[in-house]
Structure 1
Amino acid sequence: MLNFLLRRLAAGLVTLFVALFLMYILVNAAIDPLADLIESTAANKEQLIAQRTEQLDLDVNVVIRFFWWIGALFTGDMGEAWQSGQAVSDQLTRAIGSTIELVSAATVLSLLVGVTVGIVSALRQYSAFDYVIIFFSFLLFSLPSFWVAVLLKQWGAIGFNDFLRDPVIAWPVIIGASLLVGLLWALAIGGTARRRVQVFAIAAAANVALLAYVQLTGWWERPQIGPVLLALLGAGSAFAVAGVFAGLHNRRALYAGLTVVALGVALYFPMQVAFDQMTESHWLTALLALVTVAVGYGIGRLYGGPDWRLSARTGAAVALVMGTLIFVDQVMSVWGPYFDALGGRPIPTFGDRTPNLGGNYWVQVLDSFTHLILPTATLVLIAFASYTRYARSSMLEVMNQDYVRTARAKGLPERLVIVRHGFRNALIPLATIVPIDVITLIGGAVITENVFGRPGMGQLFVRSLDHAEIEPVMAYLLVVASLAIIANIVADLVYAAIDPRIRLDA
């Protein structure tokens, strides 16, 4: 393992140096910092050109300037943008922070939804559900991202903000949406005609009840989860996680999940007091998340048994769900002041922060979330199509392997065959694709960032090229190239972790 990492890092450093050298030469040839002066009609034009040439060392050979830049980089100096006078490091920190927010949310959601739907589609091959997913996957994959972004701005922001003036959903719309949801669940679950009818009725009734609750309680004006909904959602997640990880016949795993839910509901009100005293600290939030997962894992471990690891994993997963729900509930608690501060139009269409908003930590978190909704939805819709197709094709290939047929012939439950033998091996191709996709997004979802005006990496790159500023462009390329090399190494490590047949030290 160590030899592999050293070899890859050495090769990566050489690749990085060559790439930066070539890009410096190309960027220098592509931009002209003197263009505005050459076209100027000022009387002292020649003097201004000479001053800028001296300021930017344009009379020095480009190769020498590259090594000057590399030398300064080793001292931690990335230079400054000559037009704005801002330090490149400050610009980069601001841009990469905004992009990482967007990339993290989009990647997690697109993976969860895309892989789940793709696996289900593969298991329901050639069914109506499979054909529906294939159709929508190809449709979303073919749509240009800027068009999706514009539609979301129109209907997801402007339309929804208009709806919030009088948030009433017509009952025919509720019934129609519920029937559609019930139909999708019936197609996804499959089975006999009787089972499909039962699933359809339960899903449609649950959706009607949920929308009726939202409608009748004025939830849009005062959105919250609350202890009752927290208990219901937590119990549902406990059954779902236990069913997938261990099977509902494994009572220890199920009881571990339900115990975590009970503990989460019991801590709901004490946590409200603790959250009120919480100052601005994303690190503290991350620490609380780690503690939450550790407590859930410990509860599952305490249930013991020969398969205690299943109980521990179930407890940790349910704890993460409960912690997320409690966190979201706290963020939603400041919706009223935030709604009033933005004049009743809380879904923004531009930027990543509301200028001069003020408020406490939770108001700032809610503001970040609302600014993430539309660009994240744009990236998720596009990435969902790819991940669904990858997951479906990979799962179909795995489920036709001999070892899967052998597992079924041995009499293993279908859940065990799918989760342990099928799902894990279906993730192998995704282990190569996902890290590269993440780095591509960090490099800048240029179109999405432009449409929504997010000051991210893509915006920094385009703006610096327009302003003929080579230092910010090279800083951008340094970050993206470095992360691309790291992503390839991470992909190899994840690949080896998923597939035990691969040995990195071979």
Structure 2
Amino acid sequence: MLRFILRRLGASIGILFAASLLLYVLVINSGDPLAELRESNAENRENLMQRRIEFMNLDMPWYQRYWTWLVGVGKCFALQCDLGTSRQGVEVSALLGLAASSTLRLVLLATVLAAILGIAIGVLTAVRQYSGLDYGVTFLTFMFFSLPVFWAAVLLKEYLAIGYNDWMEDPAFSVPQIAAIAVLVGFLMQVFLGGTPRRRIATFAVAAAFVAIVIPYLTWLNFFRFPQLGFGGVLVLGLGVALSGTAMSVGLRNTKVLYPALATVALGAIVYFASFGLLENPNWFVLAIGAVLAVVIPALLGKYLGGHLAVPAMGVGIATGIVMAGLTTLDHIFRAWPGFLALKPRPIATIGSQTPNFVGTFWEDFLDKGTQLLLPTILLAIISLASYSRYTRSSMLEVGQQDYIRTARSKGLSERTVIFRHAFRNAMIPIATIAAFDFAGLIGGAVITESVFGWKGMGELFRTGLMQVDPAPVMAFFLVTGTAAVLFNMLADIFYAILDPRIRV
């Protein structure tokens, strides 16, 4: 295994070296970095040209300039990166740090959302193959995948930003709007849940009636300007996750999994009150500690109370703990929403990654950055959704034809057990490759998205460097995106080799 990893690592380094050399040559030959200064009538034109020559090392041969850049990259192993200076004399390492933090925050969230939703949709459409749901989801995912990024961004700005901000001034629903939303939700619920015609009609009626009652009630509470989840909401939703997770994994009758999940809910309820004051204005360190505890404690409960079913008990417990922690956090975010609206009456922004000179509490600052992140994240996620859903669907259908799946069914195992404990695990192997390429591809694809939404990220760094014939910012962009692409591809190969030892040879 070590030999396989070293061989893949060596190949990856060779690919990065060749690609960086090619890109550097292409950039420096794409134009004249001194063009606008040569045509300038400024009295200090010669001084400006000399300064730019010094900043960009234009007095050196191209191969010496490339070698200087390569040596600076090598210093990164000693945590002393020297990526040169831009043609304005600004250290590119500082520009890269700001740009990378902005872009990676966007791309990471979009990748996680696309993977979770895409895999869930893929599994569901595979189980309901050739149904109306399958055809409808296939149409929508490919429509999203085919959308021009700039056009979809304009639509999101118009309806999810400008339209929503106008509506937030006086959030209310008319009777036709409530009826339309109720019918739409009822239709979608009966499509997703399926069943006999009688069951579909009942599902539609219950879902539509529920929405028709809840929306006026929330409007009466002025929930959209003063939202609150409360202890009751956290407890009920946490119980729902514990019960549904147990039902999907081993069934509700198996107390070895059910009791650790319910114990996690009880602990979450205690933590809700114990941490209330601490979470009113926390910091990232406190939230990180809470996230770790939300995983470790349920895992320990599942391990020691689950007996011979320790693994599913740990899985359900961890899922319940994470959801309970997330709901507790969401409750505090809801409580900060009115104060955030007072500081920023039009909450959904269309330009930039954060509001300039915004000053507020921790949660208000979190909401500011989150609302700025909303539109570009949605855009990148829906574009990636098609890949995850279609590959998951095809992989699930392929695995479903294997002999061991037929054997599992012939043994009398429930369909839930066959799907989630046998088919799903093996169907996820090809998704590792998709996730690896998608993450790196989104970083590169964020160039257009960042331009449309005015984000000062990796896309802006790349575009500016290319337009100014400045190789330093462009090579910094390549250093992150190229390394991410090769690294995640290598990790996918290693993950494959761990799951299937035949790949090693």
Report the TM range for the smaller structure's normalisation: over 0.9
Q: TM-score, normalised by structure 1?
A: 0.93
Which of 75, 80, 93 pairs up with 2:85?
Answer: 80
Tell me what 1:298 maps to: 300
CA contact (8 A) 1:461 1:473 kept: yes
Q: 1:138 to 1:484 in 2, by over 3 A?
A: closer
Tell me what 2:425 maps to: 424
Q: 1:503 to 1:367 in 2, by over 3 A?
A: farther
Tell me what 2:13 maps to: 13
Q: Does 1:249 align with 2:253?
A: yes
Tell me what 2:402 maps to: 401
Q: Could you report, residue by residue, the CA deviation over 1:85-112 in whole angstroms, capped at 9, with x for unpaired residues? A: 3221111111111111111211111111
Q: Could you report, residue by residue, the CA deviation over 1:411-453 in whole angstroms, capped at 9, with x for unpaired residues? A: 1110111112211122122111111110122235111111111
1:352, distance to aligned residue in structure 2 (A) = 0.8
Name the CA distance, whole Å, in 2 between partners of 1:300 and 1:48: 68
Q: 1:182 to 1:47 in 2, by over 3 A?
A: closer
Q: Could you tell me which amino acid in structure 2 is paired with residue 231 of structure 1?
A: L
Name the CA distance, whole Å, in 2 between partners of 1:397 and 1:207: 38
Q: 1:309 to 1:70 in 2, by over 3 A?
A: same
Which of 309, 317, 320 pairs up with 1:318?
Answer: 320
Tell me what 1:64 maps to: 64
Q: Could you tell me which amino acid in structure 1 is paired with residue 435 of structure 2?
A: V
CA contact (8 A) 1:129 1:184 kept: no
1:51, distance to aligned residue in structure 2 (A) = 5.2
Tell me what 2:447 maps to: 446
Q: Could you report, residue by residue, the CA deviation over 1:4-55 in whole angstroms, capped at 9, with x for unpaired residues? A: 2222222222222222122111111114211111222446656654554355
Q: Does 1:186 align with 2:190?
A: yes
Which of 163, 172, 187 pairs up with 1:168?
Answer: 172
Tell me what 2:163 maps to: 159
Name the CA distance, whole Å, in 2 between partners of 1:45 and 1:161: 48
More deviation in 439-448 or 426-435? 439-448
CA contact (8 A) 2:392 2:431 kept: yes
CA contact (8 A) 1:332 1:366 kept: no
CA contact (8 A) 1:444 1:459 kept: no
1:302, distance to aligned residue in structure 2 (A) = 3.5
Name the CA distance, whole Å, in 1 between partners of 2:51 and 2:237: 66
Name the CA distance, whole Å, in 2 between partners of 1:214 and 1:268: 24
CA contact (8 A) 1:3 1:505 kept: no
CA contact (8 A) 1:24 1:474 kept: yes
Q: 1:54 to 1:186 in 2, by over 3 A?
A: closer
More deviation in 151-160 or 464-473? 464-473
1:66, distance to aligned residue in structure 2 (A) = 0.8
CA contact (8 A) 2:388 2:434 kept: no
Q: Unaligned 5+ residue runs, structure 1?
A: none
Name the CA distance, whole Å, in 2 between partners of 1:92 and 1:51: 22
Q: Does 1:482 align with 2:483?
A: yes
Q: Unaligned 5+ residue runs, structure 2?
A: 76-80
Alignment of 1:124-273 (within 5 A): 124-273=128-277
Task: Provide the aligned C-alpha RMSD in A.
Answer: 2.0
SS of residue in 1 equivalent to 2:353: coil
Q: Could you tell me which amino acid in structure 2 is paired with residue 53 of structure 1?
A: I
Q: 1:51 to 1:493 in 2, by over 3 A?
A: closer
Name the CA distance, whole Å, in 2 between partners of 1:211 and 1:259: 33
1:116, distance to aligned residue in structure 2 (A) = 0.8
Tell me what 1:346 maps to: 347
Name the CA distance, whole Å, in 2 between partners of 1:224 and 1:93: 37
Alignment of 1:367-378 (within 5 A): 367-378=368-379
Q: Could you tell me which amino acid in structure 2 is paired with residue 333 of structure 1?
A: R
Q: Could you report, residue by residue, the CA deviation over 1:264-316 in whole angstroms, capped at 9, with x for unpaired residues? A: 123212222111352x33x4422321111111112223323321221111011
Alignment of 1:269-288 (within 5 A): 269-276=273-280, 278=282, 280-281=283-284, 283-288=285-290
Name the CA distance, whole Å, in 1 between partners of 2:56 and 2:451: 29
Q: Does 1:89 align with 2:93?
A: yes
More deviation in 259-268 or 446-455? 259-268
SS of residue in 2 equivalent to 1:260: helix
CA contact (8 A) 2:355 2:368 kept: yes
SS of residue in 1 equivalent to 2:375: helix
Q: Does 1:53 align with 2:49?
A: no
Name the CA distance, whole Å, in 2 between partners of 1:238 and 1:190: 23
Which of 308, 331, 334 pairs up with 1:332?
Answer: 334
1:319, distance to aligned residue in structure 2 (A) = 0.5
Name the CA distance, whole Å, in 2 between partners of 1:286 and 1:443: 29
Name the CA distance, whole Å, in 2 between partners of 1:53 and 1:382: 42
CA contact (8 A) 2:32 2:469 kept: yes
Number of aligned residue pairs:
500
1:495, distance to aligned residue in structure 2 (A) = 2.6
Name the CA distance, whole Å, in 2 between partners of 1:376 and 1:16: 28
Name the CA distance, whole Å, in 2 between partners of 1:47 and 1:351: 35
Q: Could you report, residue by residue, the CA deviation over 1:468-505 in whole angstroms, capped at 9, with x for unpaired residues? A: 322111111112111111111111133344xx433565
Q: Could you report, residue by residue, the CA deviation over 1:102-135 in whole angstroms, capped at 9, with x for unpaired residues? A: 1121111111111111211111112111121122
Q: Could you tell me which amino acid in structure 1 is paired with residue 244 of structure 2?
A: A
Aligned residues: percent identity? 43
CA contact (8 A) 2:281 2:361 kept: no
